[in-house]
Structure 1
């Protein structure tokens, strides 16, 4: 074993060690097991260790021998570590022995500041991680050997040269220690992780920020250099390696965005910037960089894209609706205008001699177009009320669904005959409920109009059933039908099952139907297959939410 442990006597002057080339460090702790733990951690280094059990004992050792480094416990009975450090600086101001505090107390800023004010160069929390302790001790041992080399050189120089070198040495050491303190403080407060890796992307160093970033400690990353790549997808690893090669070849920094899986399996987005460090011969020595978590920003960006897509779709629907609405409104207006012109010409040419039947025909056609216009306007108004949450229902007791179906079907007889679709009605005399009669009539009208439009040339069936506390209406046609994709969006606003060029309409009828039915506590369903027609089923509770029913009321 390379490690040598010395428990010196203070009666015979300076300590004597087996090998003068070894650096000696002083470990001060009142707990023997803590001293043993430090000794075990440093057993791989070529060091001589002197152990002291109190601050007073440490001061006596420092009077007798020079040490490369002092590792001192903060909390000791009697003289604590802070007091011992102060006395060391007061009694030997020219002997700048590096001192690292060890403490089991919680790491607090005030304690750290006090430690640095006492002359410490660093502060480690117990239990001390062996890798971290060895790394820090190795730095100061290397500094000690450099100082020793400088001292040997100074002996060969004159007084002036020695003074210049001493001044430079002190400045260099102070600058180095100050840089290390600053770097340690900065890396500890960065909202991310500083890293260094080999050209094969195996991680050599990770700052303490990796714990909060990934759930893994710095020691785990240095112990398993390939751990970081295992958190990434293979595709991202390959992409980043290629991007880095190109960036470093062009003398640029590399910026990468990718996802990792934390220790708790939570996916997180990383933003990383790295630079290649090259040897004088141009060979890549290692890669240094910084990374941070940008998951929240990435989520906000995704949400923004989703909202923008929704906005674009809304604008598209608006533009499409305006185009369709202008066409639908223009059609009855044109027909109405032509009928008025024809009647005016006939009146001018045959004043008082126009047969009553011809005038009635013209007026009936004009009335039909006016009704169509009124229906379109009503649909637009209903849609506006639904969107703004102002759709109102006027519930009435004893509303007869069967009678409403027969009345609406009677109004469509002329249109049904014109398109060749006979209406077949299967309904009892009464199916009573607590409903809004006008809105219910609107539902039946929309469904029947839809069936005649897409089932033209074949029979349309209307069936009304009473099922205890529920009523059911089915409207079936044998027309073109639709696939599942169309069914999924059929009840949306401005949606149509087929092109408006062939069938027209604003795409609001089924939207309004569903909203009205659901407002009355019911549901509307569709079952269809391409070429096999469609069946729309409306199910309504016969009693309103307040418990009033229509079963015993007179027919409406």
Structure 2
């Protein structure tokens, strides 16, 4: 059992020896003895502490015991504290009456009898303890009573709140037994579901007939599993259109954790559902609009690329034609010029053929002839037409097929050759020098495309496998789409319209075949696989290549000109033309090479192509104007480009060029433009 706490006893005497004597007498009681050597000190102790008894000397300077007692009794906190007067004088009745009037409980005459003092003080200690215990019990009882009253009040308010909230709630509320049977529904529930409280046995009665099976199944799972329930269903109401309700439910537990049943809500979310439907419609419309805008952008890019691809060979053709017609040429120069003209003419013819093919495909006018075709022979013929292109880049071409395997399909031989030729020229274009291209022709067995017919079917398969730059995974799904190229910027490294593979896919599908592109990724090569039923077929087209260029006239005598163009034919043509005019020409095959030249030379005029790999003409001009010092930064510049739209001209002038000349370049106009930009 814990020992009782000590109580305070106040000893008041102006003589230290008297205080020591009192402490010695009362020490055995084991209480907390507090000293005060004046009335003022005693009153200070009484401000913060309660005492079981006060032993108060009567005769003290400044303030005697009676005055101190009077002040003690005047304070609420110490009014009932017992006071025993201590005095060294014999008392008269008047003296004693005055003390008792001030609240004294006793008088003790000094010297004080030890046993008497101890017994009297002990009585007051016990009385103090009992009084304190009774006070604490009373306070505790009062606190409990107050708490009970508060709890009752809160319960009443809670019930009133629940009734009020339930009645006024904007959501339907239902309460069920542990089995799931409804025992309470609020007015909003009844209004939403069209069910009176007494008629509602289960909230499932309110669910639309089409949603009943799912609602019943999920509610059954909830009753067995006990997880929180939250689902959306249509409600069957008298209204013409069904409402949508969001049903939530949870288990009810008592404070002791006992399962009491379920409480749930039904919220009308019809407006939200209508808004979601409207939003979905807007998103679909926006997606369609964005798709249309993307298609328009692709067409715009295609137009720009088409302009570039047509004007670049035209530049070489017209340039060399002008030189041949206007100046005598030796046999070597004339032969080189004719070869370049022919090569670029073939390139333009191929572009035009592709455009016409796409036009026919779009209009559904592309017609096929149907004859038995030896696919291996077609592949071999296509291979022969691209062999010179491959040899020019040091690319190894390999044809692999089983001569004993019959690979006869029915189709258009020319169109089938066009398919294989397009795939081969594509592979040559995207395969670096010293690469390898393999053509595998074989018969394979695979399931038919029809889900109803799973019988294995014999196919003729052509695979074109290269060690080229590969195809990025994100571009693979679009590789056969019209107007789509992995790189359509002015820095693209490979030409073309982005039509060849779209034409190939259409031709293959016209032969009831299929084509697939595969690539492990960037710089890991690619594989194009064509499958044709061993009863059908298709055919090829003709390739093309770039060009080179030569001479002109004289009127730029001694003018230093830097010519920048990644196309070798155009670079040769411009260099020859300008030298014929008397200019001193420095040729650069890239913007990076041009920057290196400009670091050490200051030409009078810069002629620069726009579409170049790695760095385009706009970037070169920006670096020249902003990063180089005078006089290089002030060199007059002319943009020579196959991008010939008005916006291209504006962009060139904004980039820092003084003039914009569209390819093909007319020599007289070029000389005139150089003369004009050199004027102060």
Q: TM-score, normalised by structure 2?
A: 0.38
Higher relative contact order (CA 8 A, sep 6+): 2
